[in-house]
């Protein structure tokens, strides 16, 4: 068994790879769990899974069973999709469509049902959305010569409990 945080990473990695063959924008996608990426040195399409902290919320004292039950342990995440297009309209469509696909991937499984119990007994309670952004950079704006950059970011928090 492993920590819930590690299981979330693995679940998201598997879920993004499962989009291959279902959505053209995700065919031959490179998926990395990490903090950041260098846009000049990635093959597109590219997805970064960024889960950079874990935070426990305050809780009340022991319950009737004498044990502290921790609710709302937070794991903030961002899924960053990065690709390019020869024209600005194509880049806009890519950014918006990829954003919608990633949102649906999370929305369709709000408890990340493929994740089991962690080594310390933690489970996924639920997922809440923070925001979703899609944007385009002009030709050369990210050093992708003669291409427009299409990017989207989906931010959400996975809540765990013990």
Domain boundaries, the chain: 4-161
pLDDT tens track for 115-161: 999 998 899 999 999 999 999 988 655 556 788 999 999 999 999 98
Q: Which CATH class is domain 4-161?
A: alpha beta
pLDDT digits (tens, 9 = 90+) for 55-101: 986 666 666 677 777 788 999 999 999 999 999 999 999 999 999 99
Measure the CA angle with vertex 49, ends 9 and 138; round to 5°: 170
Distances in Å between the alpha carbon of 137 and those of 65, 68, 77, 85, 117? 56, 49, 23, 10, 41
Place of tokens 């649906």: 104
How is residue 65 written in tokens? 């069973």
Exposure pattern of 51-86 as b/e (b: 16+ CB <10 Å)? beebeeeeeeeeeeeeeeebeebebebbbbbbbbbe
11-43 residue pLDDT tens: 999 999 999 999 999 999 999 999 999 988 899
């Amino acid at each position: 068994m492993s920590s819930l945080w590690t299981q979330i990473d693995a679940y998201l990695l598997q879920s993004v790879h499962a989009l291959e063959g279902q959505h053209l924008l995700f065919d031959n996608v490179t998926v990395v769990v990490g903090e950041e990426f260098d846009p000049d040195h990635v093959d597109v399409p590219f997805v970064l899974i960024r889960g950079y902290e874990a935070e426990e919320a305050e809780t009340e004292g022991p319950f009737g069973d004498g044990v502290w039950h921790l609710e709302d342990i937070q794991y903030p995440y961002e899924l960053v999709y990065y690709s390019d297009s020869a024209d600005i309209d194509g880049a806009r469509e890519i950014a918006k469509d990829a954003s919608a696909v990633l949102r649906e991937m999370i929305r369709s499984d709000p408890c990340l049902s493929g994740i089991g119990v962690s080594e310390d007994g933690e489970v996924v309670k639920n997922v809440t959305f923070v925001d979703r952004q899609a944007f385009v950079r002009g030709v050369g704006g990210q050093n992708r010569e003669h291409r427009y950059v299409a990017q989207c970011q989906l931010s959400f928090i996975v809540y765990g409990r013990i």
